Amino acid sequence: MGFYRTESPLRDGAGAASPVCNRQESSETSQSLPTVFIVDGDKVACESLAALITGEGWRSQTFESAEEFLSHPIELAPGCLILDVCLPGLSGLELQKRAAAKCSHIPTVFLSAKEDIRTTVEAMKAGAIEFFLKPFRQEKVLSAIREALERSRTVIAREKQKRVIQW
């Protein structure tokens, strides 16, 4: 876990009635190109992160609220969830819990504009890969995303093995 304060263009300036996770396997294209889901109420922050992620060769999808993300079906494909702690409606911590229950193959990386040790500890205990303060170092966030995507691939591979054994 780390807190990083640096200058960067990446600054910060719900009920789950719909399924979060469509458990069908995705196409080969989706399997080869991971998706990083960004949930942040700050549209500029979402766009900056999306540009950074796209520049690394990954797909990005942005959402301005937890509810918006929860209403979006997620395939069983490598992915990562980047959450701001403070979201309109459901908090980032609540979204982390709901997403983990329904899409265990999508690890979480947290962002926050405020330093709050209790929140950081709660996020990490719930399985977050990393917790960064805004603004943050791009290379550190990219490293956390890489780790999250690798974990996602591992969970998906185990899920596929389980299916083979159950057949």
Based on DSSP, count helices (H) and strands (E) in the chain, helices before strands.
Answer: 6, 7
pLDDT number for residue 20: 41
Tell me the whole-structure pTM to 2 decimals: 0.80
pLDDT number for residue 115: 86
Residue 52 clears pLDDT 50, i.e. is over it: yes
pLDDT digits (tens, 9 = 90+) for 71-117: 999 888 999 999 999 999 999 999 999 999 888 899 999 999 988 89
Q: Provide the percentage of residues in the chain whose pLDDT is more than 90.
A: 63
pLDDT band for 160, please (50, 70, 90 cuts): confident
Q: What is the mean pLDDT of residues 51-70?
A: 95
Please say whether the beta carbons of 142 and 52 come within 8 A: yes
Q: What is the mean pLDDT of residues 124-149?
A: 95
Tell me the two tokens of residue 119. Answer: 């929140």
Name residues whose C-beta falls within 8 Å of residue 87's C-beta, 6 or more positions apart in sequence.
39, 40, 41, 65, 66, 95
Residue 141 clears pLDDT 90, i.e. is over it: yes
pLDDT number for residue 76: 87
CA distance 63 to 57: 19
Residue 144 clears pLDDT 50, i.e. is over it: yes
